[in-house]
């Protein structure tokens, strides 16, 4: 099996102030680090510059929460992947279920955003996940498989693409699937990637779990064979919790 660096990614969503960002980053900067574990913070776009400056001397990486498919132009309010690269980002989250729901983003939109991310030289964290109704109807693997197939672009490699499995019903709810359920979906994602991209790329690509990951369940989730990290919302807003999750990895 390929060695995969564990990625512990904090998705701050629309939560921050200058004061909060300083306090949170100050806390994260005290984390001594752990071999084989990469820490990433994804603040709201107005805070990317200041947060980037605060972590520039550290190993903590910077990421954004979305991008526009185009490199520039008449798209009021949007941000290009090239701008994110210019600000020092390494990653862009694309296709988060909240973007899919709030902004009607489709797999085709997410695909275009992931391509833009690659064009700018950054890594895309492509989010997929079923709703509770879809799980109850036994459609989880079909839904997630289709989202991965249609959202991940052909140019994906182990270096430029991460897939995050986030069951919609587990996000921000305190509910998580069982370990068996998580591993089943991750294994299915990896086998779909293998069919399309071949063994080397698929076995090197990181698959994150997201949805109510916290210090008390992180060790169990991160120990699963095909879980290579976490995409963490609520618990990424407290330095103590986020570093505890990073410590639980590996
Ligand atoms: P949560 O969010 O950890 O608060 O459930 C995860 C996410 O939406 O990325």
Taking only the tens place, the pLDDT of each residue in 36-82 is 999 999 999 999 999 999 999 999 999 999 999 999 999 999 999 99
Q: Are 65 and 13 in contact (CB under 8 A)?
A: yes
**Is 60 exceeded by the pLDDT of residue 2?**
no
Residue of 68, 96, 111, 118 marked catalytic: 96
Ligand 1 centroid, distance to 173 Cα (angstroms): 9
Say which residue the tokens 């776009």 belong to. 45
Tell me whether residue 110 is exposed, middle or buried, using C-beta atoms within 10 angstroms of its C-beta: 0 to 12, 13 to 18, 19 or more. buried
Q: List all residues 6 or more positions away from 135 whose beta carbon is below 8 Å from its beta carbon.
A: 167, 169
User: Which pLDDT does position 1 carry in this prediction?
Assistant: 46
Residue of 38, 82, 130, 166 marked catalytic: 166
Mean pLDDT of the chain: 97
CA angle 12, 14, 97 (to 5 degrees): 80
Instruction: Write out the H or E segment, with its range, that includes residue 19.
Output: helix 18-29
Q: Pick the atom of ligand 1 nearest to 11's CA.
A: 9
* Binding pocket residue ranges, ligand 1, CB within 6 Å: 11, 166, 171-172, 210-213, 231-235
For ligand 1, atom 2, which residue shows the shortest CA distance?
Answer: 233
Residue-wise pLDDT tens digits, 192-239: 999 999 999 999 999 999 999 999 999 999 999 999 999 999 999 999
- Domains of the chain, earliest start first: 6-247 (3.20.20.70)
Q: Pick the atom of ligand 1 nearest to 235's CA.
A: 3
For ligand 1, atom 1, which residue shows the shortest CA distance?
Answer: 233
Tell me if residue 166 is catalytic: yes
Tell me if residue 96 is catalytic: yes
**Is 70 exceeded by the pLDDT of residue 102?**
yes
Tell me whether residue 7 is exposed, middle or buried, using C-beta atoms within 10 angstroms of its C-beta: 0 to 12, 13 to 18, 19 or more. buried
Say which residue the tokens 């909240």 belong to. 98
User: Which pLDDT does position 250 carry in this prediction?
Assistant: 76
Reduce the secondary structure of the chain to three states and give it as a string: CCCCCEEEEEECCCCCCHHHHHHHHHHHHCCCCCCCEEEEEECCHHHHHHHHHHHCCCCCEEEECCCECCCCCCCCCCCEHHHHHHCCCCEEEECCHHHHHHCCCCHHHHHHHHHHHHHCCCEEEEEECCCHHHHHCCCHHHHHHHHHHHHCCCCCCCCCEEEEECCHHHCCCCCCCCHHHHHHHHHHHHHHHHHHHCHHHHHHCEEEEECCCCHHHHHHHHCCCCCCEEEECHHHHCHHHHHHHHHHCC
Residue-wise pLDDT tens digits, 204-215: 999 999 999 999
Count, residues in the chain = 250
What does the alpha-carbon distance between residue 222 and residue 227 come to, in Å, rounded to a whole number?
6
User: Ligand 1, from 44, 100, 166: best to mutate by most atoms within 8 Å of Cβ?
Assistant: 166
Ligand 1 centroid, distance to 220 Cα (angstroms): 17
């Amino acid at each position: 099996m390929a060695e995969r660096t564990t990625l512990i990614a904090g998705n701050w969503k629309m939560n921050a102030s200058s004061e909060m960002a300083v306090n949170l980053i100050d806390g994260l900067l005290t984390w001594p680090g752990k071999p084989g574990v990469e820490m990433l913070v994804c603040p709201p776009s107005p805070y990317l510059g200041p947060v980037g400056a605060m972590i520039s001397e550290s190993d903590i990486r910077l990421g954004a929460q979305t991008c526009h498919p185009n490199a520039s132009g008449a798209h009021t309010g949007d941000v290009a992947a090239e701008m994110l690269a210019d600000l020092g980002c390494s990653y862009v989250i694309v296709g988060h279920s909240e973007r899919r729901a709030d902004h009607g983003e489709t797999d085709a939109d997410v695909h275009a955003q992931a391509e833009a991310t690659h064009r700018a030289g950054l890594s895309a964290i492509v989010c997929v996940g079923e709703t509770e109704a879809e799980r109850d109807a036994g459609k989880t693997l079909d839904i997630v498989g289709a989202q991965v197939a249609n959202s991940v672009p052909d140019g994906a490699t182990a270096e430029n693409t991460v897939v995050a499995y986030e069951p919609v019903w587990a996000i921000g709810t305190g509910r998580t699937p069982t370990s068996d359920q998580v591993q089943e979906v991750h294994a299915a994602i990896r086998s779909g990637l293998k069919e399309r991209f071949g063994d080397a790329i698929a076995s090197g690509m990181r698959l994150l779990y997201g949805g109510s990951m916290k210090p008390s369940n992180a060790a169990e989730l991160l120990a699963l064979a095909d879980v290579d990290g976490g995409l963490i919302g609520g618990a990424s807003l407290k330095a103590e919790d986020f570093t505890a999750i990073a410590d639980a990895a590996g």
